[in-house]
Chains A and B, each alone.
Chain A
Amino acid sequence: MTVESQSSRAAIMRGLIIAALLIVASVVLQLLSPSYMSREIELRIFGVLTGGVVLVYANLVPKTITRRIGACGDPMVEQSIRRFTGWSLVLGGVAYAIVWMIAPLQYATAFAVGVLGVSVLLVVTRIAMVAARGSRT
């Protein structure tokens, strides 16, 4: 088995484990609410968990080096995009979790999606700028 297929298997396993954990967490929270836990706490815990998942995945973005992407462009630009994407989404994930921890519940969804949306928008803008610069040259 090659190193690449091993890392693909590991990534799939990690994804499955995280998905299973999220499903289990949502079932447990659903069972606990409203008898043992208020609806507010349930929503906040699930929001923090979702932010955590974004953080875990975004953390690994700069570490993922694929031959395919590395071969199709300038490696220096590719690395800077990966680092920018990783940092932007990690900070977005942290902000998403913090918003769910402290924001008033009626605004939490809007604020959390807003901060994560901004980080995704920054990444898309950065990639678009690099692509536009590349097509001019």
Chain B
Amino acid sequence: MGNVFRALSDPTRRQVLQLLQKGPISAGEIAEHFDVTKSTMSAHFAVLAAADLVQAERHGRTIMYRLKMSVLEEALLGFAQAFGLQITSTENEGTPLMQED
């Protein structure tokens, strides 16, 4: 559950999850919505995958991401969005998060 809270604590990752609520999207399409580097974006995806909130599927050269959230996790996402849950410090925002654990 700690992984889930960590994943939901970041506004970018929450926005990614909200995009995925509409349906599976490719990594490139998701990245277009954010003004961050490719490595930062893939680090965000890694955190979301580690928390088991998304599932990546390779279709040829494209990686498709699908939402994999339980009802409780979606409720937590809504709660975090509504009350602006943000544990991650601003210093960490621009750096890859993969090495945090």
Contact = CB atoms under 8 A, between A and B. Distances in A.
Contacts of B16: none
Interface in B19-54: 21-24, 52
A interface: dominant SS: helix
Contacts of A59: 70-72
Task: Give the interface size class of chain B.
Answer: 10 to 19
A76 interface: yes
Given A80-B23, A83-B21, A75 B66 contact: yes
Given A75-B24, A86-B71, 20 more contacts: A58-B71, A59-B70, A59-B71, A60-B70, A61-B71, A62-B67, A62-B69, A62-B70, A63-B52, A63-B68, A65-B66, A75-B23, A75-B66, A79-B23, A79-B66, A79-B67, A80-B23, A86-B70, A87-B71, A87-B74
Interface residues of A, number: 16
Interface of A: 58-63, 65, 70, 75-76, 79-80, 83, 86-87, 90
Candidate in A63, A76, A86 with the most chain B CB atoms within 10 angstroms: A63
A14 to B, nearest CB: 13
Contacts of B69: 62-63
B72 A65 contact: no
A130 to B, nearest CB: 14
Contacts of A62: 67-71, 74
